[in-house]
Amino acid sequence: MSWGFFLGASLSCGLLLAGCAQTINSPDVTAVSSSQPGTALQPATTLQPGAAEQPYPTQGPETPCEGGPLGCAEYTTVRGTDATGNVAWLESEPLRVSSRHANGQWTLFVHTPCNHLQVAVSVQANVMTQLWMAATDRGCEGPTASYQAWTEKLFEQPVQWKLDGDVLTLRNSHATIEFKES
């Protein structure tokens, strides 16, 4: 076979694919194409909204983290205790926690030494109660597997939370953990 054949085939495929391309609409751009009987298809044209037009209703500056238990900050553990005493690994391999609001509920994002947890919570005054929990599955080995289980156990029961400046405290019968804003 000759290179001319490959070049011709490549160009034909490229033109065929270009004819199938679509314009993706965004809130500020509207795609319009027309086809009249007996005429060739016209390429899509984009129209920008005029100065008086709004492409969609204006929404407030709300972000998915404002107004929640942790605001828009991320917190990192500085110390913790449980029934056995000091939980030293919280200092050397800290947890990081933040929150977001989506689909009408608050979700805590907890980074453990080997995985990530998403804990959907209901928030009543100073108590967070787990609605559901999901974890990544990276196959924790050695002590990090027990750190993961320990962290999951924390959220299996309601957690009292207190935010004092840049210090967050989570507390229940399983543990008391102090975090500092990162």
Q: Which residue has the higher pLDDT, 158 or 61?
A: 158
Residue 104: is its pLDDT beyond 80?
Answer: yes
Q: Is the pLDDT of residue 32 over 60?
A: no
Beta-carbon-side half-sphere exposure of residue 175 (alpha carbons within 13 Å): 25
- 29 forms beta bridges with 26
Q: What totals of helices (H) and strands (E) does the chain contain, helices first?
A: 3, 11
Closest CA to 167 of 67, 62, 63, 80: 80
3: how many CB neighbours lie within 10 A of its CB?
7
Residue-wise pLDDT for 107-163, tens only, equals 999 999 999 999 999 999 999 999 999 999 888 889 999 999 999 999 999 999 999
Task: State the average pLDDT over residues 2-28.
Answer: 38
Cβ neighbours of 135 (radius 10 Å): 17
Between 163 and 8, residue with greater pLDDT: 163
What's the whole-number average pLDDT of the chain? 75
**SS in 3 state form for 4-72?**
HHHHHHHHHHHHHHHHCCCCCCECCEEEECCCCCCCCCCCCEEECCCCCCCCCCCCCCCCCCCCCCCCC
- State the pLDDT at residue 140: 87
- Put simply, whether the predicted model's pTM sits higher than 0.85 gets the answer no
